[in-house]
Amino acid sequence: MGEHWYAETCDSLFEQLSVTSDYGLSNEEAGKRVEKYGYNELEKAKKRHPIFLFFEQFKDPLVIILLVALVISIIIGLFSTDEHQQLEYFIDALAITAIVLFNAFFGFIQEYKAEKSIEALKSMAAPFTTVFREGKKQRIEARLLVPGDIILIEEGDKIPADGRLLESHSLRIDESALTGESFPVTKESLTKLQPYTPVAERKNSVFSGTNVTRGRGQAIIVQTGMNTEFGKIARGLLEEKAEVTPLQRRLATLGKWIGIASLTICAIIFSIGVLLQQEVIEMFIVAVGLAVAAVPEGLPAVVTLALALGVQRMSRKNAIVRRLPSVETLGSTTVICSDKTGTLTRNKMTVRKILTVDEEYSITKDTPLNNSLRQILTIGLVCNNAQIAQNRQGESKEVDIGDPTEIALLRVAKRLEVESTYKRLYEVPFDSDSKRMSVVVKNPEGEYFVFTKGAPDVLINLCTLYFSKGEVRSLDKEMREKLEVAEQNLAKIGYRMLGMAFKSIDPRAANIKLLSEDVEAIEANLTYIGAMAIMDPPRKGTKSAIETCRKAGIRPVMITGDHLKTAVAVATEIGLVSSQESAHYMEGQELAKMSDEEFSDMVMDVNVFARVSPEHKLKLVSALKSNNQIVAMTGDGVNDAPALKRADIGVAMGIAGTDVSKEASDMILADDDFSTIVGAVLEGRTIYDNMRKFILYLLSCNAGEIAVMFIGILLTSLLFQTPILPLLAIQILWVNLVTDGLPALAMGVDPPDPDVMIRKPRDPNEPILTRKSILFIIYSGLIISVGTLALFFFYMYPNVVSGQLPSENVKIRARTVAFTLLIIFQMIMALNIRKEEHSLIGKEFFRNPYLLLAIASSIFLHIIILSVPFLQDVFGTTTIELVDWIIILCVGSILVFIDEFRTILAKRVPSLRHIAGYW
């Protein structure tokens, strides 16, 4: 079957598909076609086995480094002759194993629950359908449909496959899930189309997964399964691979540099030891100990937990994150591509204005009702086939049944407390040719009326009178033109206009038989009274959310399958564009004709895209990404799913969103409120700020540890002709996992900075560590190492002077003091690093009570390993006296004075302001 089957005539399709309209396919032929074309269902995504999914968690560079350290620790532990050293390295190995398994298990659980897009699509398919086979109607499973089948369509049906209409009778189909079109689309079997007509404008076709809201018809199935428009979306989801987030890229780069640094340090210290004629095995053990100091073992766990805590906070604000790294990605977003229907708007048709002959009214619950308004609302209420019903017995939630436009008429009447006392006697149903619907009604007083609603231009031509200021007047040419202009002014700015007219009739003319014999007479000589202006209104808070996005340097873009004038009207109302004339817009047909290169060159200048298909949305996201943009895509329909998956972060709607869009997304807005995304952006930026703080903190502490170990080994080798470790490997591991880890976790819940939402988004290529950050790490490492080593050698002073190798007790005491000072330095660093350009003294000190608790806990845990005999043996420590504590605190406070001096100097000397802050 050709690609442009919708442009073919029905006879041509019958011939190509070898089927006749009066017989349909035989069951035998249908069976053969099932074998040829396959079942009318969507392919399942190839699932990775859970075991492979689990092992994929070990690909992270930092985790690989930890695994190497784990293997080396086990080897040294096995071959070491020193029992204490064996215990030390086995504990080291156990701790690293616990970290690696924690990360792997957590990542596995997150990913195992994801990737269900195709299953969600399958749930939207119609399970059964009515076909015409062998000259009779048959009810079959929808999966057994084949090209050439003739299906019967009725109100309430879900279309099971793509097809060309053979017949249509007042047929209207809701295609919003596929195209984004707000209103149900009127379908016409006789419509002739040209090749390349967009999906949203194929009036003679029906599409799988869409819903019939009115009328009936017949269609010949042309495409099934993966060849339907739904299938194309499904194929896009199958082929689209999950993007690596900016955070994952940055952490991978950081991990590689840490790995290179670890290997370099090992090689240097091992080479120096060999040159100094030290034992090769001993120097290898020393070099490994130094490598352990270089690797921040707690970093993967702290990053994972910080993101998880961010996920919890965001869920309390109605933003549910499905992929942990996406928390940070949202904070670096530069463009938000938002679907109009159901995202920026409520996806609920609403009467927003009523136009009487005399005046225009904006509708609120407090709108006062005059005779004209009350009559217009009554006509809309009575000339109506929709219903608003209760969901279940005892539940307050209401369910809309019927055409969304008619639902809007019911709701506005209910809102303004207008009720009907009329009894319907006869109906002239809506027809796409006549573009109107009429009913004959009777009131309690026994009076008979005709109520008509329809396209205003059609009704005005049917009317000979109009109702104005309580009087019925003759409708002349001048008044007709005035009414048409008033209606067109609202239609131009995106409103769907629905005119209202009425007339009284003689009771004798209200006979059903007479009415059915002369339908034209029913709608002759009507009295025009006004029109309702209907639109899918913007969500509350959308305008302020867009303004906040702009202040944050984020560019909002609207993409929709709806008509251009409607899209531009909504964009103007919510402040996406300043006026309809200034809007930079593009339609899907124009977009489709452009090459990828041409589109990429101009995509940054367009902020409203209308009449677009799913392929266009995918092309849009790709073009933005080619311009180095971090793209967030919000949406709720099936048509959004491929673009949601392609975007850096896909944001689906939780209430109105389809299962497909939710499963393809990275984050779900539980309340469907666009403004919730602003809170999510704030949270994302705050999480990244805090992440940089604790990464900088951990690396600064590790730099100090490396410097202590590196310089200490060199100096002891020169002084005593044998290297002495200033810190044991198990002590470094304790610092990296516990005393560093707790404050780092507490930094993950630091409150947001006041300027977080008035800053521009970060450069996507900006590394986690900037030049300023690296300089700070070096500066911090030097201060920590100088202070720690000074105290280490001070406690071995007699040996330093004499050059004699210190006893084991002297080494243990010196190490314990150095170990303790290192921890005090790092606790002070935790307070300093989170205050950025502010002084530590004052309210900044109490800004994060969790950090103070973490610091107190770290010090308390350290005191325990200095005091408990069993732990003293494990960690190679001893009890220290009060005078030792005084000396340690005095040396440690040097870091406070240096940092406070740096902050004060930066504030008072403008030319030195650049020395404040850390990145």
Cα Rg, the chain, nearest whole Å: 37
Query: What DSSP line would sit under 390-429, residue for residue?
Result: ESSTT---EEEES-HHHHHHHHHHHHTT-----EEEEEEE
DSSP reduced 3-state for 494: coil
Element holding 158 (H helix, E strand): none
Q: How many whole angstroms separate alpha carbon 504 and alpha carbon 452?
A: 12
Please confirm, yes or no, whether 666 is among the known catalytic residues.
Answer: no
Tokens for 366, please give them. 């407090």
- CB-CB contact of 740 with 698 (8 Å): yes
- CB-CB contact of 660 with 638 (8 Å): yes
How many contiguous H segments (helices) and E segments (strands) does the chain have? 34, 26
Q: How many whole angstroms separate alpha carbon 874 and alpha carbon 862?
A: 13
What does the buried/exposed string (b/e) look like for 168-189 if buried means 16 or more CB atoms within 10 Å of the residue's CB?
bebbbbbbbbbbbbbbbbbbeb
Largest pairwise CA distance in the chain: 129
Q: Which of 60, 339, 666, 899 is catalytic?
A: 339
Cβ-proximal residues to 473 (8 Å cutoff; 6+ apart), any chain: 465, 466, 467, 479
Q: How many whole angstroms separate alpha carbon 380 and alpha carbon 416?
A: 13
DSSP structural state of residue 604:
G
- CB-CB contact of 557 with 634 (8 Å): no
Q: How many whole angstroms separate alpha carbon 106 and alpha carbon 99?
A: 11
| Phi and psi based region of residue 672 (left: phi greater than 0; alpha: psi -120 to 50; beta: remaining) | left
* 263 CB-contact burial (10 Å; exposed 0-12 / middle 13-18 / buried 19+): middle
Query: Inter-axis angle of helices 771-794 and 808-833, to 10 degrees?
Result: 150
CB hemisphere CA count around 240 (13 angstroms): 26
What does the buried/exposed string (b/e) look like for 48-66 if buried means 16 or more CB atoms within 10 Å of the residue's CB?
eeeeeebeebeebbbbebb
DSSP structural state of residue 752:
P
Q: How many whole angstroms separate alpha carbon 672 and alpha carbon 654?
A: 6
Cβ-proximal residues to 774 (8 Å cutoff; 6+ apart), any chain: none
Cβ-proximal residues to 481 (8 Å cutoff; 6+ apart), any chain: none
Q: How many whole angstroms separate alpha carbon 738 and alpha carbon 862?
A: 9
Tokens 């048959």 belong to 138
Cβ-proximal residues to 893 (8 Å cutoff; 6+ apart), any chain: 828
Which neighbouring-strand residues pair with 471? 468
Q: Which positions are annotated as active-site residues? A: 339
